[in-house]
Amino acid sequence: MLMMPGGMERHFDGSEEDKPASYVSTNTKMVVPPTKSASGTPQKPALKFLIYGRTGWIGGLLGKLCEKQGISYEYGKGRLEDRSSLVADIQNIKPTHIFNAAGVTGRPNVDWCETHKTETIRTNVAGTLTLADVSREHGLLMINYATGCIFEYDEAHPLGSGIGFKEEDTPNFAGSFYSKTKAMVEELLKEYDNVCTLRVRMPISSDLSNPRNFITKISRYNKVVNIPNSMTILDELLPISIEMAKRNLSGIWNFTNPGAVSHNEILEMYRDYIDPNFKWVNFTLEEQAKVIVAARSNNEMDASKLKKEFPELLSIKESLIKNVFEPNKKTGLKN
Ligand SMILES: NC(=O)c1ccc[n+]([C@@H]2O[C@H](COP(=O)([O-])OP(=O)(O)OC[C@H]3O[C@@H](n4cnc5c(N)ncnc54)[C@H](OP(=O)(O)O)[C@@H]3O)[C@@H](O)[C@H]2O)c1
């Protein structure tokens, strides 16, 4: 049984004619054997996820989630830009779905990409496209953790208006090399019907000791800007991405909690829930520009497509309280 993106399933008996044309290739190996129940009716194959990004933040969390949910998974050993290593992973692991949480994000931050352009292209452009192509060749859906940092507030989407960028909007932010290349790749991935592009933004998790966590970052800065943005609460949204794989959803998705929250609103919650003595200092975008190399995107995304598919999705402020601040308050974790 071939799992098709878009929630469709195709059944075939192995003959070439039964394979959907878009997935036929000379070296396609259908890796999901059909199984039968005791009654003889075909059953869905057991899930087996192949995840890229073992040492990364999102990739690490995905593995833990699979363990919690009893989903069989393995991390890919291949490098994204090395096609044969990806094919070997698929042949060894025989996955039902591929998750791409691999990419270069820059250390300490995306400014790194400004001075490492070919390395950024190798993984984020050549690598991501190669994995999408290999996945398609094997009839596999690829859940791709992409970015929403390809938009910035503009006249049609003014700050504070509540008018967010939609899935079909054309990226308007190329202020950093990282964002510029991510937008280029998103455009090309539109042609791959086996790809589910998840536009992640300013990810937050309940682990306030993680230096990658947006809350942890801004609570440690000497000075912080104060702009509302759409953000992704990983504790709530990563399980949703697993559910999206189960539903074989594809296409572009704004992968943020509905609404926007400002830096100061988050830091006020931090003060109220975590550290009553916490204080911070704001500065302007112009002042910020002097201490960073590349510009940063600020935007609100329209999460109504995701909300329609997952009506239980919480607004960003509700999710921050439920998934981040309340649990940390209860355990008394001080950052
Ligand atoms: N964190 C954010 O703020 C943020 C925001 C929006 C979107 N995203 C996107 O979400 C994805 C995951 O982010 P993250 O924060 O989890 O990243 P991360 O912590 O920096 O981890 C990146 C992972 O990618 C792997 N990797 C890098 N180059 C690779 C290559 N050529 N082949 C195979 N694996 C490679 C790394 O493995 P090695 O250590 O072995 O190289 C690492 O496991 C990225 O595409 C990122 O752009 C992140």
Q: What is the pLDDT along the chain (335 residues), one digit of tens a residue?
A: 334 433 333 322 222 223 333 333 333 333 344 445 556 666 667 999 999 999 999 999 999 999 999 999 999 999 999 999 999 999 999 999 999 999 999 998 898 999 999 999 999 999 999 999 999 999 999 999 999 999 999 999 999 999 999 999 999 999 999 999 999 999 999 999 999 999 999 999 999 999 999 999 999 998 999 999 999 999 999 999 999 999 999 999 999 999 999 999 999 999 999 999 999 999 988 888 888 888 889 999 999 999 999 999 999 999 999 999 999 995 545 44
Q: Is the CB of 316 under 6 A from ligand 1?
A: no
Contact indicator for 127, 118 with CB cutoff of 8 Å? no
Q: Is the CB of 325 under 6 A from ligand 1?
A: no
Tokens of 36: 């039968």
d(CA 123, CA 56): 14
Q: Is the CB of 256 under 6 A from ligand 1?
A: no
The rounded Å distance from CA 127 to ligand 1 centre is 12
d(CA 247, CA 250): 9
| Closest C-alpha to ligand 1, atom 19 | 56
Q: Are strands 97-100 and 72-75 parallel, antiparallel or unpaired?
A: unpaired
d(CA 103, CA 144): 10
Give CA 23 to chain center in angstroms.
Answer: 24
Tokens of 320: 């921050």
Mutation choice for ligand 1 from 98, 104, 149, 173, CB with most ligand atoms inside 8 A = 104
Mutation choice for ligand 1 from 50, 51, 54, 57, CB with most ligand atoms inside 8 A = 57
Q: Is the CB of 127 under 6 A from ligand 1?
A: yes
DSSP 256: S
Question: Domain 46-209+230-261+299-322 carries which CATH code?
Answer: 3.40.50.720
The rounded Å distance from CA 57 to ligand 1 centre is 7
User: How many Cα atoms are found within 13 Å in the side-chain-facing hemisphere of 178?
Assistant: 21
The rounded Å distance from CA 168 to ligand 1 centre is 25
Contact indicator for 281, 223 with CB cutoff of 8 Å? yes
How far is the first Cα of the chain from the last one, in angstroms, to the nearest whole number?
A: 49
Mutation choice for ligand 1 from 145, 150, 233, CB with most ligand atoms inside 8 A = 145
The rounded Å distance from CA 234 to ligand 1 centre is 15
d(CA 176, CA 157): 20
Contact indicator for 119, 125 with CB cutoff of 8 Å? no
d(CA 97, CA 118): 29
Q: Is the CB of 56 under 6 A from ligand 1?
A: yes
Q: Is the CB of 102 under 6 A from ligand 1?
A: yes
The rounded Å distance from CA 145 to ligand 1 centre is 9
| Closest C-alpha to ligand 1, atom 15 | 57
pTM of the full structure: 0.88
Mutation choice for ligand 1 from 55, 85, 105, CB with most ligand atoms inside 8 A = 105
Q: Are strands 141-147 and 195-200 parallel, antiparallel or unpaired?
A: parallel
d(CA 303, CA 309): 10
Q: Is the CB of 58 under 6 A from ligand 1?
A: yes
